[in-house]
């Protein structure tokens, strides 16, 4: 073993969701950390505060906390107030903790904000095990983000703003593991329906029948959806296709590693196995259904895509052995230089050794540098803004253009918020109906939808407030700051720029009646 990565002096707290099965990927990371010598303490975290009314024998740590709270109360200390239940759960872990890790953004979002109350110097490490950064990570407070490729995490808000470090490690799969094939003498073609709709089953099967399937062994992956899996079972024979399917619950990774190609619309966990094993992929999906992970691989040539069913057979033959695209895709896959659970573990250990990153200091309190002659003649293009407090002149016509686009965006957000709020009300009602009917399983599923919609409503409300403030600043006669211009930068579309070049008002001001009305109402602020 490489002794340079030993970590016998480090203690890592691994946070998971209580009651859920431990993901295989996370278990591999824990094993890799322990193999490197670190002490790993798993902590399943409940989704809500434990019921204090239940008749249970308190643990030693519970008794210690109760005694300390009682003493603080007698002294009149602020500490006498009841602490957050998550803090209490963390205090149950005895001793020093060097890093707290989580691969589930929902768990991390709940726990990470409370970690420093217990261990002020502990590093909070977020780990995303595939090539698609889960959008939920944008709401998580972390110190380090570990991703399989540095390009995946560049857009994370905390990384972009300098609050967190980005590290490369993973994906969370076994490297150089065993492979399995139906017949060693023939190439194996793996087909995934993980992200395909029922209506996609027949087109995919039909096109497979045109790709000379007698040349390879056909192996299907279960989608986990009874309807789709039943369609595959009942329709494949009608297209002259004969193959096998891994049984639900079986480990499909060795079969993917042993395949010549993976086609369909595989899930993120299937994709990372294929990337690590160097298995070419053909993704069957229109542009609108591509995930960020799909786009990442396609942009780098590590996969090919069939946008419509008619191109499936051609694209599939292109990446099979002897196909014209196979060598190019294999080279692109090798260029990604995928790691494994061990490289992810090394990134975690590196973060733990370095400690928490230096506190990020916003530039608002810094003295403005003296202007040089070049500053009067040259404008900075690209890179960070000069400072959030600096004023920035803007021609009135350009200011109007931005204003109209901001109002248009605000209207879109308001419509999305109305729909999300209506959906939230519907699913809250369904939770109530399920509980009234005594169906706890159905109520829990509906409650998950309520949680997701609640977060969406909160984000839309925040976005609406941000847009309202930006609208008011652009509608006023006050100078705009560099931060205002940076916030509005995303509204400069190609069509808006074209209208400005022709000396016209933005097209949206003429085509959207609500913009016309609001612009008229705000005209007095722009023309004092």
CATH, residue 314 = 3.40.50.2000
Domain with 415, as residue range(s), is 391-526
**Structural domain contains residue 252:** yes
pLDDT above 50 (res 218) = yes
Q: Predicted confidence band at 247 (pLDDT cuts at 50, 70, 90)?
A: confident
Shared domain for 209 and 164, answered yes or no, is: no
Highest-scoring range by mean pLDDT, 98-102, 219-223, 310-314: 98-102
pLDDT digits (tens, 9 = 90+) for 125-169: 999 988 888 888 988 999 999 999 888 888 788 888 888 999 999
What is the structure's pLDDT at 474?
80
Do 114 and 26 fall into the same domain? yes
How confident is the model at residue 5, as a pLDDT? 46
Residues 12 and 153 in one domain: yes
pLDDT-wise least confident of 97-106, 135-144, 198-207, 490-499: 490-499
Residue 329 domain flag: yes
For residue 188, pLDDT over 90 is answered with yes
113 C-beta neighbours (distance < 10 Å), count: 14
| Domain contains 213 | yes
Task: Tell me if 243 is assigned to some domain.
Answer: yes
CATH of the domain at 34: 3.40.50
For the residues of 286-344, what is the DSSP string, one character each? -GGG--HHHHHHHHTTSSEEESSGGGHHHHHHHHSTT-TTHHHHHHHHHHT----HHHH
Tell me: do 192 and 164 sit in the same domain.
Answer: no
pLDDT in tens, 463-517: 888 888 888 888 877 778 777 777 776 666 555 555 555 555 444 443 444 555 5
43-95 residue pLDDT tens = 998 877 665 444 455 555 555 555 655 555 555 554 445 678 889 889 989 89
Q: Model's pTM, two decimal places?
A: 0.62
Asked if residue 256 and residue 207 are part of one domain, the reply reads: yes
pLDDT at 388: 47
164 and 27, same structural domain?
yes
Which residue, of 168, 202, 227, is where some domain finishes? Answer: 168
> Which tokens belong to 374?
């070049």
What's the burial of 53, exposed, middle or buried (CB within 10 Å: 0-12/13-18/19+)?
Answer: exposed
In a domain, 346, yes or no: no
Higher pLDDT, 251 or 34: 34
**Is there a single domain that holds both residue 223 and residue 160?**
no
> Which pLDDT band, with edges at 50, 70 and 90, does 366 fall under?
very low
How far is 16 from 351, CA to CA, in rounded Å?
20
Q: Is residue 382 a part of any domain in this protein?
A: no
Percent of the chain at pLDDT exceeding 90: 36
> Domain tally for the chain?
3
If asked whether residues 294 and 206 sit together in one domain, one would say yes
Residues 87 and 14 in one domain: yes
Is a pLDDT exceeding 90 seen at residue 303?
Answer: yes
Between 91 and 528, residue with greater pLDDT: 91
Alpha-carbon gap, residue 398 to 450, rounded angstroms:
42
Contact between residue 425 and residue 399 where contact means Cβ atoms under 8 Å apart = no
Q: Which of 102, 137, 168 is the last residue in one of the domains?
A: 168
Does residue 34 sit in the same domain as residue 161?
yes
Task: State the burial class of residue 238 (Cβ atoms within 10 Å of its Cβ: 0-12, 13-18, 19+).
Answer: exposed
Residue 370 is assigned to a structural domain of this protein: no
Kind and range of the H or E element at 480? Answer: strand 480-481
Residue 228: closest CA among 189, 271, 191: 191
21 and 151 assigned to the same domain: yes
Amino acid 487: pLDDT: 76
Choice between 24 and 332, residue whose per-residue pLDDT is larger = 332
Give a yes or no: residue 432 inside a domain: yes
Q: Which two tokens stand for residue 9?
A: 């002096």
Last residue in a domain, options 168, 203, 226: 168
Instruction: Output the pLDDT for position 273.
Output: 93
Which of the given ranges, 3-7, 201-205, 401-405, 462-466, has the highest pLDDT on average? 201-205
Quick one: 16 and 151 in the same domain?
yes
């Amino acid at each position: 073993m490489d002794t340079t990565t030993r970590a016998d002096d480090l203690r890592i707290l691994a946070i998971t969701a209580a009651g859920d099965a431990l993901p295989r990927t996370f278990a591999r990371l824990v094993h890799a950390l322990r193999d490197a010598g670190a002490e790993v303490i798993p902590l399943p975290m409940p989704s809500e505060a434990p019921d204090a009314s239940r008749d249970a024998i308190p643990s030693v740590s519970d008794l210690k906390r109760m005694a300390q709270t009682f003493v603080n109360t007698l002294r009149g200390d602020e500490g006498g107030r009841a602490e957050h239940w998550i803090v209490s759960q963390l205090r149950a872990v005895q001793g020093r903790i060097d890093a707290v890790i989580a691969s589930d953004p929902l768990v991390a979002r709940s726990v990470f904000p409370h970690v420093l109350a217990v261990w002020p110097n502990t590093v909070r490490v977020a780990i995303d095990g595939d090539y698609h950064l889960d959008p939920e990570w944008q709401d998580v407070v972390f110190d380090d983000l570990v991703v399989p490729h540095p390009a995946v995490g560049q857009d994370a808000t905390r990384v972009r703003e300098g609050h967190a470090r980005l590290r490369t490690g993973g994906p969370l799969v076994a490297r150089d593991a065993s492979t399995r094939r139906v017949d060693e003498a023939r190439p194996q073609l793996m087909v995934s329906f993980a992200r395909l709709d029922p209506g996609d089953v027949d087109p995919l099967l039909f096109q497979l029948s045109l790709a000379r399937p007698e040349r390879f062994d056909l192996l299907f992956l279960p989608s986990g959806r009874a309807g789709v899996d039943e369609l595959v079972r009942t329709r494949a024979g009608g297209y002259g296709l004969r193959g096998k399917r891994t049984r639900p619950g079986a480990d499909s990774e060795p079969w993917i590693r042993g395949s010549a190609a993976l086609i369909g619309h595989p899930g993120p966990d299937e994709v990372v196995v294929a990337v690590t094993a160097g298995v070419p992929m053909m993704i069957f999906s229109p542009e609108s259904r591509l995930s960020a992970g799909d786009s990442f691989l396609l942009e780098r040539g590590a996969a090919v895509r069939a946008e419509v069913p008619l191109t499936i057979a051609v694209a599939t033959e292109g990446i099979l052995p002897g196909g014209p695209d196979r060598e190019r895709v294999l080279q692109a896959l090798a260029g990604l230089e995928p790691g494994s659970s061990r490289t992810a573990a090394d990134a975690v250990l590196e973060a733990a050794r370095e400690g928490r990153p230096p506190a990020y200091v916003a530039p608002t309190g810094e003295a403005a540098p003296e202007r040089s002659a070049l500053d009067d003649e040259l404008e900075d293009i690209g890179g960070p803004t000069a400072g959030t407090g600096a004023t920035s002149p803007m021609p009135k016509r350009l200011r109007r253009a931005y204003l109209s686009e901001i109002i248009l965006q605000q209207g879109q957000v308001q419509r999305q918020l109305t729909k999300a709020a209506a959906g939230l009300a519907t699913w809250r009602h369904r939770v109530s109906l399920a509980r009234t009917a005594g169906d706890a399983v159905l109520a829990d599923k509906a409650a998950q939808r309520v949680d997701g919609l609640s977060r969406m409503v909160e984000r839309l409300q925040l976005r609406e407030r941000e847009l309202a403030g930006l609208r008011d600043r652009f509608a006023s006669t006050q100078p705009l700051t560099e931060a205002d211009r940076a916030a509005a930068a995303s509204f400069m579309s190609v069509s808006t720029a074209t209208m400005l070049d022709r000396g016209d008002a933005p097209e949206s001001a003429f085509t959207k009646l609500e913009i016309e009305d609001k612009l008229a109402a705000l005209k007095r602020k722009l023309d004092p």
